[in-house]
Amino acid sequence: MKHETEILRLLESKREGDYWDFKQEPHENKASLLHDILCLANCSHRGNRFLIYGVTDPDEGTEIIGLSKGHKNRKSQVQFIDFLRSKPFAGDCRPEIELHTLLINGLEIDILVIFDKPLKPYYLSQDYRDNGKIVKANFIYTRTNDTNTPIDKSADIGVIEKMWRQRFGLDISPLERMKMLLLQPQDWFKDIGNKPYAYHLDFPEFRIEFSEVHEFWEVFSSFFTNEKSYLGTATFKYHSTTLFELEYMYCDEMRIEFAVPKTAIVRLKNYNNWFYYYNLEALNGIFLQFMTNNLSHIYSRNNAFPFVIFDNETERDTFIDYVTKNENLLDEIKPDLWGEMAKDNMKKEKKGSVIDPIFIDKVIQLHEKWAGHNTR
C-alpha cells in the first residue's frame, strides 16, 4: 500500500509531529475535522501530511486500536472529498486528499493523506459551524511541532507571510520555482508541436525551448495504435540561464506528448525485467504533469498507458519490494489487450528488446491493484 513504510515509521516514533496527527476515533464534530485538515494542510512541512485514525494519543502510548466496519463517523474517500468540496474555501483553493486503509496485526487504521501543493494558505471565506465549534472566515490555521493553532485564533503574522511567499515562489531558487510553476500548466502559454517554446504567462522569464525531434522506438511505442514515436530535448530557462534539460517525446505518430520515462528493474525467480515509470516528485514526473495538463490527458486513441506512476521515490521502492516478495501475484495476472498487442506488433516488425511488453502489462495491472487497495 502507498505510504505504508512512512506510516509504520511514524507509528514507531510514538509521538506526533508537524505533519502527522493521531486520532483514536473518527471526528464526530465536523468543524473539528475541518480545523484539523486546515492545520495540517498549512503546516510548513515539505511533503505529504497524514491524519491517522484508529491510534491513541502519544500520552496513551500510540496504541493501535483499529476501526471496525461501519465504525461511527468513519468516512470513505468520497465522503471526505464531498465534505471539503462543499466548504467555502477562499479562492476555491481546497486541500487535495486521498484515503488509505492499512491493516496492522488484523486491525484497520485509516490514513487521510493531505497532499503538499503550492496553494497555501488554505482558509475559509465564510464561517463554518458545527455544534458550538466555529472555523472562522479569514482565519489561517497551521500546525507547529505537534500543536494546532487554536480554532479561535489565527496563526502568527510571520508564519502567514511565509505561506504567501511560498505560494508565490518568492522564497525559493529559480530551479525550485520552475518546478513549482510547471505544476500549474494552465498558467502557461504552450502550443506543443506547433510552437518551439512555452512561457509562463505571469512570469515570462521562465521559458521552455523545444528542439526539433527525430524518430525513435522503444517498447512502449508498440502499445499505441501507431508505433511511430519521436524524441526531442526541452531546455528549461530562467531569463537566459539554462536551469536543466529533459527529453520529451511524441507517441502514436505525434498524437500525444509525454516526458520521457525512467526505467526500473525487478529481479525475480521467474522474471528479470524492466518497466517504465514516472516519479511525480522528480523532474521528469513534474514535466509529465505539465505535458499532460496534470495527468488529465494521458491517453491517445486507445486506453494504453504503458507506464507506472509513483507519487515519490519511497512509493517506487516500496512497490518494487512488494513485487519481489509476491512474485506469485504476477503469475496470476492475465495480460490484457494492450500487452498482447504490443508483443504482436514487436513480432510483426521484428523488433527485439530485453524489455518484455507482457511483463510491463502485468506490472501495471499489479500496481493498480496495490495502489488502489482499500482507498475508498
Last residue of a domain, one of 167, 202, 234: 167
> Do 163 and 181 have their domain in common?
no
- Mean pLDDT on 174-201: 95
Q: What is the pLDDT of residues 320-338, one digit of tens each?
A: 999 999 999 999 999 888 8
- How many Å apart are CA 30 and CA 124, to the nearest integer? 14
Predicted pLDDT of residue 372: 73
Closest to 77 in 3D by CA, of 2, 129, 17, 131 = 2
- Which CATH number do you get for residue 18? 3.30.950
Mean pLDDT of the 291-302 span: 91
Q: For residues 33 and 123, state if they share a domain.
A: yes
Tell whether 240 and 358 lie within a shared domain. yes
Q: Which three cell numbers stand for residue 177?
A: 520555482
Q: Are residues 58 and 30 in the same domain?
A: yes
> pLDDT band at residue 3, thresholds of 50, 70 and 90?
confident
- Are 67 and 147 members of one domain? yes
Total number of domains in the chain: 2
- Which of 143-147, 245-249, 271-275, 287-291 shows the lowest mean pLDDT across its residues? 271-275
Sheet holding 107-114, edge to edge: 20-23, 49-53, 107-114, 97-104
Does 191 lie in the same domain as 145? no
Q: How far apart are CA 354 and CA 350, in angstroms?
A: 14
Predicted TM-score of the model (pTM):
0.67
Q: How confident is the model at residue 265 (pLDDT cuts 50, 70, 90)?
A: very high
DSSP H helical ranges for the chain: 4-13, 30-41, 77-85, 157-167, 174-182, 283-291, 313-325, 327-332, 337-348, 357-372
Task: Let me know whether 224 and 315 are in one domain.
Answer: yes
- Residue 141 sits at φ, ψ, to 5 deg, of -105, 150
Which of the listed residues 167, 185, 206 is the one where a domain comes to its end?
167
- Residues 207-218 have pLDDT tens digits of 999 999 999 999
- Residue 375: CA count within 13 A, CB half-sphere: 14
Residues contacting residue 358 through CB under 8 Å, at least 6 positions apart: 335, 339, 340, 343
Q: Which of 144, 167, 190 is at the close of a domain?
A: 167
231 membership: H or E segment, kind and range? strand 229-238
351 in the same domain as 223: yes
Whether residues 198 and 137 fall in one domain = no
Judge if 144 and 193 occupy the same domain. no
Query: Does the pLDDT value for residue 113 go beyond 60?
Result: yes
Distance CA 64, CA 56 (A): 7
Domain residues for 363?
175-372
Same domain (yes/no): 203, 341: yes
